[in-house]
Amino acid sequence: MQTEYSLWTRDPEVELLPLVRELGIGFVPYSPLGHGFLTGQIRSVEDISDDDWRKSNPRFVGENFQRNLRIVDEVEAVATEADATPPQIALAWLLAQGEDIAPIPGTRRVARVEENTAADRLLLSVEQIDRLNNLTPAVGDRHEEFYMARIDR
Amino acid sequence: MDSPHQPRVRSYLMKHIFLGGLNVSRIGLGAMTMAGVYTSGGGLDDDESIRTIHRALGLGVTHIDTAEVYGPFHSEELVGRAIKGRRAEVVVATKFGLISHTGRDPGDLDSSPASIRTAIEGSLQRLGTDYIDLYYQHRVDPRTPSKRPWAPWPSWSLRARFDSSAYPRPAPVRSAVPMPCTRSLRCRRNTPCGLGTQRSNCYL
């Protein structure tokens, strides 16, 4: 079973994750780094090129984008404390959600795959996980309406 | 080609978990962006993408996720090139349903049996393999209803592949699963499941 699940998309916790566990099946979170947003590498809408579909994603536009940066700030604070990088924190938090979760962070760069896989060895403290659990919720829908209507059926 | 059933002996560099019957490194690699799905950023670097997959394998990643629609096709082609000769090391997940192979309008969802058959052929060819470990239905196709919503494409279309003499056993698709499936899972909870959970047309 594969769907979007990350620090800023926690919808599966309501129904899907409990169902998956009840049925004893695995869970593959996609976009575990929030389409790159949780890496802290995208700091301004100008960082996104015009041919990039994120440009019109509700979470990446206008005031939503600015407000969602607070989430990145909070993740970065935990990263600094844990001597890790923001994507490693986002992945370690996902892995801490259970032994039945296998995220698939996407990248096309060697350096990023090295960074991402190192999250396997990162153990967050209870207090850090607690802080991450209480992040400011994301502002904006996951996708534009047309795409959303097709996703969870 | 490599058999998915051959015993694998390896020391795990990374923690592993089970997705249903599939043993995977708990951190996998998504290959969507290699085809420039967010942005090509002024051009794609296929060599770096392949180096990235090789580095992932070297670091203990055994789960690679792609889809025919990524590119389209380019992501699968890169994965195929990268895992050539190393097929048994990885669990390959790919997806069908967002491209119509039966002439529906571009952008129309298509999980008709004919479309799935063509999609499987294409994915196997691009991935350079004779089996897919994990085959997701990328989106539910409202025009292909199923009596069993937890397996929303007609199961015979996959089973036909299993029984086909064109393929040596084991089946070309080890596990098939609907991807967007709150409703499917709800249904499955309330439906007796008499089918196996490994190496057949089953569900993760």
- A110 close to B (CB below 8 A): yes
Q: How far apart are CA B99 and CA B108, in angstroms?
A: 7
pLDDT at B186: 56
Q: How far apart are CA B105 and CA B89, in angstroms?
A: 38
| Segments in chain A below pLDDT 50 | none
Q: Kindly report, residue by residue over B85-137, the tens digit of the pLDDT.
A: 999 999 999 998 899 999 999 889 988 878 887 888 899 999 999 888 888 88
pLDDT at A15: 83
Q: Across the interface, do B61 and A150 touch by the CB < 8 Å criterion?
A: no
Residues 6+ apart with CB under 8 A from B175: B20, B21, B22, B133, B134, B135, B198, B199, B202, B203, B204
Sign of the four-CA dihedral A13, A16, A21, A26: negative
| Shortest distance, CA A136 to any CA of chain B (angstroms) | 25
Residue of B nearest to A12 (CA): B182
User: What secondary structure, in 3-state letters, does A20-57 show?
Assistant: HHHHCCCEEEECCCCCCHHHCCCCCHHHCCCCCHHHHC
Q: Kindly report, residue by residue over B17-54, the tens digit of the pLDDT.
A: 988 778 899 999 999 999 998 887 778 999 999 999 99
- The answer to whether A107 touches A116, Cβ cutoff 8 Å, is yes
User: What is the SS3 assignment for B30?
Assistant: strand
pLDDT at B169: 41
Q: Across the interface, do A102 and B24 touch by the CB < 8 Å criterion?
A: yes
Measured at the CA of B170, the angle between CA B167 and CA B176, to 5 degrees, comes to 100
Is there a catalytic annotation at residue B70?
A: yes
- The answer to whether A121 touches B62, Cβ cutoff 8 Å, is no
Could you list the beta-strand ranges (E) of B9-131.
Answer: 16-19, 22-25, 29-30, 63-65, 91-96
**Above 80 in pLDDT, residue B150?**
no
pLDDT at B145: 64
- Note the ipTM here: 0.95
Please tell me which of the candidates B33, B59, B183 has its beta carbon nearest to residue A107: B33
Confidence of residue B3 (pLDDT cuts 50, 70, 90): very low
- The answer to whether A51 touches B42, Cβ cutoff 8 Å, is no
Mutation for testing the B interface, residue in A35, A112, A113 having most B CBs under 10 Å? A113
Chain B partners within 8 Å of A5 (Cβ): none
| % of chain B at pLDDT higher than 90 | 42
- The answer to whether B4 touches B91, Cβ cutoff 8 Å, is no
DSSP per-residue letters across A4-19: E-BTTB-GGGTTHHHH
| % of chain B at pLDDT higher than 70 | 66
Bond preceding residue B72 cis, omega within 30 of 0: yes
pLDDT at A43: 92
pTM for this predicted structure: 0.86
pLDDT at B176: 67
Tokens 């040596």 -> residue: B168
Confidence of residue B195 (pLDDT cuts 50, 70, 90): very low
Residues 6+ apart with CB under 8 A from B200: B162, B171
Confidence of residue B143 (pLDDT cuts 50, 70, 90): confident
